[in-house]
Structure 1
Amino acid sequence: MRGIIKLVYTKVIDAGSAQAWDKHVFEDTHREFFMQAQQFDQQGRYETYQEMLTHIPRAENMSYLVSTAAAGHLKQLHNKFPDVLNTLGKTCVPFKNFKFEIVQSHVKNKALHKIAIHLYSDPLLWIDTIDKHLIFTPEEGHKKLISGEEIETHSIILLPNVGIGFFKILPP
């Protein structure tokens, strides 16, 4: 059974993140969190994101507002999932959409800042899964496959932070 899938990749970034891109996103999102916290809590009563969520009704907007600091960095990924490589060592999973989440943060202690970026792939034609290898091609490969044409495929190892977020069965 073949289907159209959209993968979701969750990139968690915190003070222990080692890659240069992650460090830049960490710094910029914490800086933006700090500025937004000053706007939402002008009296400075709350130090953590969770406290703000509990006591300030509008604080749920902070994830969206802080996401602007990460959005510019996403362009550097050239619309490909980072860290998810095919068997040839290349990034190959295209994405267009993302969701940003503040997992936790602290105004005064940057080491407690932790975010998650959920990247959603373009539609992909799922061909098969062999062991832990997901074999796919871009969605438009379906027409070529039906007509018997050769198609380029990719194989990635399914990692704990990569999942199938959406699935649609294709008719036989």
Structure 2
Amino acid sequence: MPPRTITLAYRKVIDANSPKPWDKLVLADSYRELRMQAQLYNPGGQYRTFGELLHHVPAAERLHFLVGGSVGGYVQQLKGLVPDIVNNVGRYFLKFTRYQFELINSDLHDPGKHQVAINFYSEPLHWHDTIAPYLLVSDAAVLAEAGGEVLTHLCQLQPYLTIHALHPAAPAAS
């Protein structure tokens, strides 16, 4: 059976308890930007939380996009590799082609309650097999070019990592 082509998604949740310096920078800059952009939708300051703002001002849904621009430089620092996801030998291997920033919750007066997520979507991978909690995958582009040996990665399934999409198989050559 030929390998199936998949796209993985990883949802990185960042909040006040996130220990990594990169996470802390993303959190601080996104909070600063949220406070600035929220003024457009909350000019009188009557709403304290992001949830209240969304409930009372539906146009505030645009804040995900408006605040997301503040983390673009940090995402570029990742050089196309999904953070936190390593293969079985501890190396970063999962390349992403796109990401989406998301505000989860926030309090405009308390930065300790600010919580965001960045959803990373991988390049297509060939999924060869599942071995216990591990996926055996390889780069789809490399497999198409390879005539023999194909380098693989054994990646453990973990919270917030999921198979986002199955891609249709290429039609068989006749």
Judge same fold: TM > 0.5, yes or no.
yes
For structure 2, list consecutive stretches of 5 or more residues without a partner in the other structure.
Answer: none
- Percent identical among aligned pairs is 36
Partner of 1:107: 108
CA distance in structure 1 between the partners assigned to 2:160 and 2:135 by the alignment: 14
Displacement of 1:72 in angstroms is 1.2
Q: Following the alignment from structure 1 to structure 2, what is the Cα–Cα distance between the partners of residues 32 and 166?
A: 32
The aligned counterpart of 1:97 is 98
C-alpha displacement at 1:69, in angstroms?
Answer: 1.0
TM-score (norm 1): 0.94
TM-score normalised to structure 2 length: 0.93
Aligned residue-pair number: 170
Matched, 1:153 2:152: yes
* Structure 1 gap ranges (5+): none
Is 2:78 the counterpart of 1:77?
yes
Question: Separation in 1 of the partners of 2:144 and 2:44?
Answer: 60
Amino acid at match of 1:32: E
Instruction: Tell me which moved more, 90-99 or 35-44.
Output: 35-44
Q: Paired residue for 1:134?
A: 135
| Contact 1:135–1:156 (8 Å) recurs in 2 | yes
1:35-74 matches, cutoff 5 A: 35-74=36-75
**Structure whose residues are more often helix by fraction:** 1
Counterpart of 2:11 in structure 1 is 10
Runs of 4+ in 1 over 4 A off after TM superposition: none
Q: Distance in 1 between matches of 2:84 and 2:103?
A: 21
- Partners of 1:78 and 1:32 in 2: how far apart? 23
Deviations 1:118-153 (A, max 9, x none): 1000111111110111111111233356x4x11111
Indicate the RMSD between aligned Cα atoms, in angstroms: 1.4
